[in-house]
A and B are shown apart, each in its own frame.
Chain A
Amino acid sequence: MAISGRFFLVALAAVVPIIAVPGPATWLLALGVLLFIVVLDLSLAASPRHVVVRRVIPSGVRLGEQTTAVLRLANESTRPLNAVVKDGWQPSAGASNALQTVRVRPGERAALGVALLPARRGDLLTRHVTIRSFGPLGMAARQQTIEAPGTLRVLPAFHSKRHLPSKLRKLRELDGKAAVQIRGAGTEFDSLRDYVRGDDVRSIDWRATARRRDVVVRTWRPERDRRVVIVLDTSRTSAARIEDETALDTGIEASLLLAVLAERGGDRVSLIAYDRRVRTQVSSTGKGNMLNAMVQGLAPLEPELIELNNQAIPGAVRAVTSHRSLVVLVTSLDAGAAEEGLIPLVASLSQKHVVVVASVRDPAVDAARRDRRTTTLTYRAAAAEHALNRRAAITAVLKQAGASVVDAPPQELPPQLADMYIRLKAAGRL
Chain B
Amino acid sequence: MSNTEQAFRAESASPAHTMKRWWGKYRFWLICSGAFITLSLLGYFLGTGSGQTAGALSITNPAPAGAQAAASVLRTQGVTVTAADSLAAATAALDANGPGTSTVLFYDPKNLLSSAQVASLSLRAEKAGAAIVAITPAPLAVKGLSAEISSSGTTAGTPTVAPQCTQPDAVAAGMIDGSAGNNGKGPLHLYKGVQTCFMPSGTAGTAGGYLAGNGTGSVVVLGNAGIISNQNLANRGNAALAFRLLGDSPNLIWYTASVKDIPVADQPPTLAEFTPEWIFPASAWLLLVAVLGMLWKGRRNGPLVAEPLPVIVKSSETLTGRARLYQDARAVETAIQTLRQAALTRLARTLRLGNAAPPAAVAEAAAAATGRKQLDVHALLLGAAPTSEKDMLSMAAELAALEEEVAQR
Contact = CB atoms under 8 A, between A and B. Distances in A.
Nearest to B400: A372
Contacts of B334: 382
9 contacts: A2-B295, A11-B292, A27-B284, A86-B301, A90-B308, A91-B307, A92-B307, A240-B314, A389-B342
Contacts of A91: 305, 307
Interface stretch (A128-136, A222-230, A317-325): A128-136
Contacts of A90: 305-308
A281 B346 CA distance: 42
A150 B2 CA distance: 10
A185 interface: no
A239 to B, nearest CB: 5
B7 A48 contact: no
A12 to B, nearest CB: 5
Contacts of B316: 362, 364-365, 368
B71 to A, nearest CB: 42
Interface string A73-88: 0100000000010101
Interface stretch (B167-175, B230-238, B322-330): B322-330
A241 B338 contact: no
Contacts, number: 206
Given A18-B285, A385-B339, A389-B341, A148 B396 contact: no
Nearest to A128: B302
Contacts of B272: none
Contacts of B11: 147
Interface in A90-111: 90-92, 99
Given A3-B296, A383-B319, A49 B10 contact: yes
B300 to A, nearest CB: 8
Contact of B278 (A18, A122, A334): A18
B311 interface: yes
Contacts of A5: 296
B307 A379 contact: no
B157 to A, nearest CB: 57
Given A8-B296, A120-B310, A362-B316, 16 more contacts: A4-B296, A7-B296, A23-B281, A53-B8, A55-B4, A55-B6, A55-B8, A145-B302, A246-B310, A305-B311, A364-B319, A375-B392, A376-B323, A379-B326, A379-B327, A387-B318
A84 B301 CA distance: 9
A241 B10 CA distance: 42
B270 interface: no
Contact of A48 (B10, B278, B312): B10
Interface in B367-400: 389-390, 392-393, 396-397, 400
A242 B315 contact: yes
B305 A127 contact: yes
A380 to B, nearest CB: 4
Contact of B7 (A53, A58, A89, A385): A53
A88 B304 CA distance: 8
Interface in A45-61: 48-49, 51-59
A376 B327 contact: yes
A384 B307 contact: no
A408 interface: no
Interface in A109-168: 120, 122, 126-130, 132, 143-148, 150
Interface of B: 1-12, 276-278, 281-282, 284-286, 288-289, 292-293, 295-296, 299, 301-303, 305-308, 310-316, 318-320, 322-324, 326-327, 331, 334-336, 338-339, 341-342, 345, 389-390, 392-393, 396-397, 400
A174 interface: no
Contacts of B338: 382-383, 385-386, 389
B6 to A, nearest CB: 7
Query: By CB atoms of chain B within 10 A, which of A143, A246, A383 has the most?
Result: A383
A11 B392 contact: no
A150 B11 CA distance: 17
Contacts of B278: 18-20, 22
A205 interface: no
A383 B295 CA distance: 57
Given A89-B305, A378-B393, A379-B335, A56 B4 contact: yes
Interface string A1-33: 011110110011011001110111011001100
Given A27-B281, A372-B400, A378-B392, A364 B315 contact: yes
A303 interface: yes
Interface residues of A, number: 88
Name the 10 nearest CB pairs between A and B, nearest first.
Answer: A130-B302, A382-B335, A148-B8, A22-B278, A86-B301, A59-B1, A383-B322, A380-B323, A385-B342, A383-B323
A188 interface: no
Nearest to B389: A375
A56 B299 CA distance: 28
A57 B4 contact: yes
Given A11-B289, A23-B281, A389-B338, A381 B396 contact: yes
A400 interface: no
Given A128-B303, A130-B301, A364-B316, A18 B281 contact: yes
Contacts of B6: 54-55
Contact of B10 (A22, A86, A146, A242): A146
A302 interface: yes
Nearest to B314: A241
A99 B301 contact: yes
Interface in A257-282: none
Contacts of B311: 239, 302-303, 305
B320 A380 contact: yes
B1 A302 contact: no
Contacts of B4: 54-57, 150
Contact of B8 (A54, A92, A374, A392): A54
A299 B7 CA distance: 27
Query: By CB atoms of chain B within 10 A, which of A128, A365, A381, A382 has the most?
Result: A382
Contacts of A120: 310
Contacts of A365: 316, 319
Contact of A240 (B286, B313, B393): B313
Nearest to B335: A382
A27 B278 CA distance: 10
